[in-house]
Amino acid sequence: MSLILRAPVSGNPIAAEAGKLTAMVSGPKEAFEVVRPLMVSYSQAQFWLGEGEQARYAKLAVNLMLAVSAGMLGEALALARRGDVATADVLDVIAASALGSPMVVGKVGFLKAADYTPTFNGHQMAKDLDLILSAANATGVAAPLAAFMRTQFAALCARGEIDQDFIAVVKVAQGLAGLGEARYPCPPARTDVKWRS
C-alpha cells in the first residue's frame, strides 16, 4: 500500500544547500512520521498540516506573502528615493527594522548590487500567482493583492525582465515613479485638454 504526501517547501537553492528549507506536509500522518527524519536533512522545520490538500494551500499562502512583500518593497524603495534617500541606505534601514524578514535581509545585497540573477524567477512567481488566484476563486477568497501583484509581474514581462529573480519586480514600482531606466518614454502631459461636464 502506498501513501502519498503533499510536501512542498519554502526556500531557495541557497537555503536548500544549507538545510534551511521549511517543509509543509499534508497527507496521512503516519507517512509523515516515517519520512520526517529524511526531511530533517534538507529542512529546518517540518509542519504536518492535515490529511488533505493543506500543504498546497500553505505553500500558496507563503508565496502570496513573498509576492506582496516584493511589491511592497518596490513601492517603499521608490518612495524613499523620491524623498532623496539613497537606495542602499533605505535597504539598510528596512533590513534592521521590524520589517527585516529573512527574505528582505536576504535580498538586500542583491538589490544594492542590482544583481537579479534568479533563484526563483519572475515566470515562476507569475505561475504561482495564477495558482493563488485560481485557488482563491475556487474557495471564495477575495485576493486583490494577489491580483495586483500578478499585473506587476505582467509589467515585468513587458519590460523583458521576467527571467530575472522575482525581486526584480521592484523595478516596476520604480518605473511607475519615474525612477530608473526609462524604457518607454511617456509623452508630456497635455495642458490644452479641458474636461466638460
pLDDT exceeding 90 applies to what percent of the chain? 83
* Count, residues in the chain: 197
Whole-number pLDDT of residue 185: 47
Q: How confident is the model at residue 195 (pLDDT cuts 50, 70, 90)?
A: low
pLDDT at 73 over 90: yes
**Cα 123 versus chain centre, distance:** 11
**How far apart are the C-alpha atoms of 72 and 88, rounded to whole Å?**
17
**How far apart are the C-alpha atoms of 53 and 46, rounded to whole Å?**
16
**How far apart are the C-alpha atoms of 72 and 94, rounded to whole Å?**
12
Same domain, yes or no, for 80 and 124? yes
End-to-end CA distance of the chain: 73
Number of CB atoms found within 10 A of residue 47's CB? 14
Alpha helices by DSSP H, the chain: 13-17, 29-39, 54-82, 87-96, 102-112, 122-139, 144-158, 170-176
Average pLDDT, stretch 23-33?
97
pLDDT at 158 over 60: yes
For residue 108, the enclosing domain spans 55-176
Same domain, yes or no, for 145 and 125? yes
**pLDDT tens-digit readout, 95-125:** 999 999 988 999 999 999 999 999 999 999 9
Domain count, the chain: 2
Whole-number pLDDT of residue 12: 87
Same domain, yes or no, for 82 and 60? yes
Same domain, yes or no, for 113 and 28? no
Same domain, yes or no, for 46 and 103? no
Rounded mean pLDDT of the chain? 91
Does residue 184 lie within any of the structural domains?
no
By DSSP bridging, strand 43-48 and strand 21-25 are parallel
Same domain, yes or no, for 76 and 171? yes
Q: How confident is the model at residue 1 (pLDDT cuts 50, 70, 90)?
A: low
pLDDT at 186 over 70: no
Dihedral of alpha carbons 45, 117, 106, 101, sign: negative
